[in-house]
Chain A
Amino acid sequence: MMAVNANSNANAKTNAGAGTDAYAIFRLENLQLYFNTRIGPVQAVDGVSFSLASGRTLALVGESGCGKSSLGRAILRLLPRNVHTYKGSIFLNGTDVMTYSNERFRRQVRWVRMALVPQAAMNALNPVVKVEDQVAEPLLVHQRVKNKAEAYSRAYEIFKVLGLPQDFLNRYAFELSGGMRQRAAIAMALVMHPELIVLDEPTSALDLLTQSNIMNVLKKVKWEFKSTFILITHDIATASELADDVAVMYAGQLVEKADARLFYDDPLHPYSRKLMASVPTLRKDKKLEFIPGQPPSLINPPKGCRFADRCELRHERCAAEPPMVTLPDGRQAKCWLVEQKAREQHA
């Protein structure tokens, strides 16, 4: 764990030093979230560290059960009752919001500085409250506006950006189609202009064309408001529509993080490589591969590299947990082979 920490610290420095045009607005350090179950604690998020520069989008990809949604909820402290362990640091613009009490977090951070667009937005909207009231609610609750009229006009501005007709403000959620509901959910997150927005599978329940339309909307929002997003998704192909950085999660841990351009050309970690090879492409012919086996149980994860069991390139060193290694070009991966590569390059 120490090694991971030290590395991410070093990386945060190099990121800032490497002359990225913005500073790290958001930084996670060794975040852990375990849930209680009858057969023992499930280590859903196990020591995740990364940093994200302002105005950039991090795509957090991984398969179902890898802990990516838990990580999203852990960032916003939206936790279920059966939490076993919840610790680590979440730095937002330099302040560690993990030290805040729940009440202070609710008043000052959640939805004010960080917001969430939940998975399956169709069920996230309140069916008995009009859309305009739901979108304007955070402004009123957090007293950012003088009166209701101002709140509604702010909501309307957001609607315009998202391509929602004005008369939709006056409707209930069930009167909207899936795409429009998703837009309304994005509007709710956007209305306070938070510093960070976590998008949890924003398009996975939608049709292809609608999905494309929502991605276009998110791109516009990103360019117009310079928003910082964390996009949680299982779909590597769709993630490429929005991603500046890509982080891959496997069995509760981050196994790779890299600039999107570098990542899509040449993933480092054996798992990322396999995952990429399993994505069918429409325009290019390629031989599809699959990963045999299944991810380890998070109740009792293996001691060494968690991917070792399914990895074709495993060797003796994989019995020990690999550190998160940073290559000179900024790419990071948690694999002994990458560590070897880094040492060779250094020498």
Chain B
Amino acid sequence: MPEKADALLTVENVHTWFELRRFGFLRVGFVRAVDGVSFSLKHGEAVAVVGESGCGKSTLAKTVLGLYRPTQGTVVFDGQRIDGETGNLKKYHSQVGYVQQDPYGALPPFMTIYRILDEPLRINGVRKRAEREKRIKEALSEVKLTPVEDFLYKYPHMLSGGQQQRVVLARAKILEPKLIVADEPVSMLDASVRVEILQLLQRLQRSYNLAVIYITHDLSTVRYFSERIFVMYGAKIIEEAPTATLLENPSHPYTQALLTAISDPDAKNADHIKEVPPGEPPSLLNPPPGCRFCPRCGQAIAGLCEKEMPPAFELAPGHRVSCWLYRQAAVKEKEEEKEKAG
């Protein structure tokens, strides 16, 4: 784990399991949506969580937001635990912003933009009407919904998808949070609008020194946005690295496959077939005991990968991979360190 002193958010060994209950009291099992995830986030840092649907990335986001209580593990924000009964969730929620995936679903259809942005301010005790109005207008002009007066009394359905998402963004930042969790903020939008929203988010992040957790399935947008990447597969983080390192030197076979699978717009793509692992991600109801990518992995080590869960090996500072292929590298490094020390 990186130094905790300057950490804004520390997630340690978090498990979020959902119980399946069938036939009255008979316990059937758990869906292990997040299964032992640890990371920490500094002030003002933008990280991305990348993974396919069903890998647990949205559950992780909601756990971090305090919307789900983790089954096990701790979430510490600014020195305060927010995972248990003791946490002051109202105060916490005023310090984190949430940008949802589907802007239309996230905005109440019966409220005007003014009321949507007014509500968080009222709940959090901004008493003076004039000040609230000032802050609402500021927030709207910051997300480039100008002239502000044109938008204040509109309803969400009167806006386009990109404009709706900007309202969501304004709502997320209006309380001046320290952290924004953006769960697939652009996946519902058209390509030409996507970049605009991402740039807005980036500008907010930089000018307010916000920490941002950007959750996405689209690796190609990540490089323009975040400093570090976590790759999730089967409810676990399987690789974490600084963005440039991960894109240049993807180490986990799954990350490698993900990078191969992404197409750049290039007519030459049509000439050859890509090598992509077949199959589907594992069921999180009953995940395989060993490495979760093992059944689809072309480089699996027989007798090891399917039996034992690989720990995280550190390849370089900040670059950790949970894959048995790197066990030797890790052992070698330790020996070298010993030699140096000796």
Binding site for B on A (CB under 8 A): 57, 63-64, 163, 177, 179, 207-213, 215-216, 219-220, 234-244, 260-261, 263-265, 274-276, 278-284, 288-292, 294
B263–A237 CB distance below 8 A? yes
Give Cα distance in the complex from A240 to B195, angstroms: 20
Instruction: Pick from B220, B247, B267 the residue with the most CB of A within 10 Å.
Output: B267
Does B150 interact with chain A (Cβ within 8 Å)?
no
- State A181–B277 Cα separation when bound (angstroms): 18
Knowing A212-B276, A278-B194, A290-B193, say if A207 contacts B270 (CB, 8 Å). no
Interface set of B (CB-CB < 8 Å, partner A)? 52-53, 160-162, 190-196, 198-199, 217-221, 223-224, 247, 257-267, 269-270, 273-274, 276-278, 280-281
Pick the residue among A163, A216, A279 that contacts B191 (CB under 8 A): A279
B53, B161, B195, B278: which contacts A278 (Cβ < 8 A)? B195
B211 to chain A, nearest CB (A): 22
How distant is the Cα of A215 from the Cα of B262 in the complex, in angstroms? 11
B53 close to A276 (CB less than 8 A): no
Cβ contacts under 8 Å, B162 to chain A: 294
CA distance A219 to B247 in the complex (A): 27
Please name the residue on chain A nearest to B219 by beta carbon: A282
Cβ B219 vs Cβ A260 within 8 A: no
Which residues on B sit within 8 Å (CB–CB) of A210? 280
Interfacial chain A residues near B262, Cβ < 8 Å: 208, 237, 282
* CB within 8 Å for A234 and B190 given contacts A208-B262, A209-B258: yes
Q: Is the CB of A280 within 8 A of B195?
A: yes
Query: Within the assembled complex, what's the spacing in Å between the Cα atoms of A234 and B187?
Result: 12
Nearest opposing residue in chain B for A259, CB measure: B267
Across the two chains, which residue of chain A brings its CB closest to B276? A212
Q: Which residues of B contact A275 (CB under 8 A)?
A: 191-192
Nearest residue in A to B163 (C-beta to C-beta)? A294
- Pairwise interchain contact A64-B190, C-beta atoms closer than 8 A: yes
A63 touches B270 (CB 8 A): no
The interface residues of chain B lying within 8 Å CB-to-CB of A236 are 191, 265
Asked if residues A283 and B217 are in contact (CB atoms below 8 Å), the reply is: no
Given A63-B192, A212-B276, also A241-B263 (CB < 8 A): yes
Minimum CB–CB distance from A340 to chain B (whole Å) comes to 25
Chain A to chain B contacts (Cβ below 8 Å), 16 pairs: A64-B161, A163-B278, A177-B280, A209-B257, A212-B261, A215-B274, A216-B274, A234-B191, A237-B262, A275-B192, A280-B224, A288-B195, A288-B224, A290-B196, A290-B199, A294-B162
Closest B residue to A242 by beta carbon equals: B270
Q: How far is the CA of A243 from the CA of B265 in the complex (A)?
A: 11
- Chain A residues whose C-beta falls within 8 Å of the C-beta of B281 in the assembled complex: 207
Residues of A within 8 A of B269 (CB): 240-241
Known A208-B217, A240-B266, A290-B192; further 12 A-B contacts with Cβ < 8 A: A64-B161, A179-B280, A207-B53, A207-B217, A213-B276, A216-B273, A234-B191, A240-B265, A276-B265, A278-B195, A281-B264, A281-B265
Asked if residues B263 and A240 are in contact (CB atoms below 8 Å), the reply is: yes
In the assembled complex, the Cα of A240 lies from the Cα of B260 at a distance in Å of: 14
> Which of chain A's residues have a CB closer than 8 A to the CB of B199?
288, 290
Residue from the set A179, A234, A291 with the largest chain B CB neighbour count within 10 Å: A291
Residues A211 and B261 in contact in the complex (CB < 8 Å), given A219-B273, A280-B221? yes
**Are the CB atoms of B195 and A238 closer together than 8 Å?**
no
Minimal beta-carbon separation of A64 from chain B (angstroms): 6
With A244-B270, A278-B192, A290-B192 given, is the CB distance from A209 to B276 under 8 Å?
A: yes
**Do residues A63 and B265 form an inter-chain contact, with CB atoms below 8 A?**
no
- In the complex, what residue of chain A is closest to B50 when comparing beta carbons? A208
Check B267–A261 contact: CB distance below 8 A. Answer: yes
Tell me, in angstroms, the Cα distance from A289 to B195 when the chains sit together: 7
- Pairwise interchain contact B265-A241, C-beta atoms closer than 8 A: no
A209 and B219 within 8 A (CB) = no
Least Cβ distance of A183 to chain B in Å? 12
Cβ–Cβ < 8 Å partners of A278 in chain B: 191-192, 194-195
